[in-house]
Structure 1
């Protein structure tokens, strides 16, 4: 399974003297920054080497070709953005509702979350026109939905209801990441109401009023 955790956000491009040895991680980080600042079309070997201040030979020491670099960008995003985060939350909070609340609250919890959001937006834009990125995005989406479903089942919902509400929980997080609100009390109230709606068990058909069942 992939590993994941907080993103290193975009910042100033690191530079290097020609005799400095760059690691594979240096190339991936620099390429990811260009992806965020510009687009995937600008992530190319020669301009990247020039910006880093090294020759293309340094690139080919670590990567077979450009596609290999792009694959590692996606693998790194998938690793940092999902499973390490899940592992960290699972290891620190035994209660499923507390864990769910932590995930729902991720968009406002740290600067790294905001930076990670910028990377995710860039990768999703890339995925709209490239099968390689689209496959990675689909894999990450499914991992996240499965985690939401697991938390909701642990909170007491049946698997079918939990799967449906997992989509709602995921939609909430994605929207909250884009919504800029300076009112913490409003945000907190919205978060608590979302948590309540997601975890409240739906009434059985036998318990529903006859008029409601006949609609």
Structure 2
């Protein structure tokens, strides 16, 4: 086992978090333990304690990352400038295609973990409430009444949770091609070609 120097340790927090992410998403929270993490990153167990007081502190850091990334970015995309509800929905759909905005694997892992962790379930419920409020507010901003806005927001979110929970693997070209139809289902309005082209420009497919 390598002996970790203080300088190397200061630069390795992301390595520990990345390894913890891999174990969490592959095998669940019970697999996230210090010795398996040390083997993954090729550092000493001692190096772990440069960054984290204990395993609970590492888990807390992972939860905070999930809250800031998945829920924080979803809320931001709902609040982004848009001239129409269709453009606003495309802003939100950025989350479903860009893992830098929204990590579906992590969301599923957190939901599975929360089933046996009441404290985390409370935080998950709070995150879901923030997401619901943000999507509802997006609809009300474009003139939908409160009941319509809430039902449409729930339809959007429950559809995506279903995608995540079923671990749907879909050809990116086919998925993007369906998005105007999804938007019409969710909003009752058909997006314009220019709306779709602006969205496509943010998500270029590999040649």
- Is the aligned partner of 1:145 residue 2:132? yes
Is 1:18 the equivalent of 2:11?
A: no
Normalised TM-score (structure 2) = 0.73
Deviations 1:163-186 (A, max 9, x none): 233211211222345444444586
Question: Which structure has the greater CA radius of gyration?
Answer: 1
**Uncovered stretches (5+) of structure 1, i.e. residues with no partner:** 1-15, 200-215
Please give the per-residue CA displacement for 1:33-60, whole angstroms capped at 9, x wherever unaligned: 1111222111011221232222222222
Higher relative contact order (CA 8 A, sep 6+): 1
Out of 4, 16, 19, the residue aligned to residue 30 of structure 1 is: 19
Deviation at 1:150, TM superposition (A): 0.3
CA distance in 1, matches of 2:27, 2:75: 30
Q: Which residue of 2 aligns with 1:41?
A: 30
Distance in 1, Cα, partners of 2:131 & 2:18: 24
In the other structure, the counterpart of 2:107 is 120
130-139 or 120-129: which moved more? 130-139
Is 1:169–1:198's contact at 8 Å kept on the other side of the alignment?
no
Q: Name 1:8's counterpart in structure 2.
A: none
1 CA distance for matches of 2:71 and 2:83?
A: 18
C-alpha distance after superposition, 1:28-86 (max 9, x if no partner): 22211111122211101122123222222222222121111111111101101122343
RMSD between aligned residues: 3.0
Distance (whole Å) between structure 1 residues aligned to residue 16 and residue 67 of structure 2: 17
Equivalenced residues, count: 183
Q: Does 1:171 align with 2:158?
A: yes
| Structure 2 portions without partners, runs of 5+ | 191-207
Written as runs of structure 1 = structure 2, the 5 A alignment for 1:79-98 is: 79-88=68-77, 90-98=79-87
**For the structure 1 residues 136 and 25, does the alpha-carbon distance in structure 2 shift closer, same or farther, using more than 3 Å as the test?**
farther
Match of 1:187 in 2: 178
Q: With the length of structure 1 as denominator, give the TM-score of the two structures.
A: 0.71
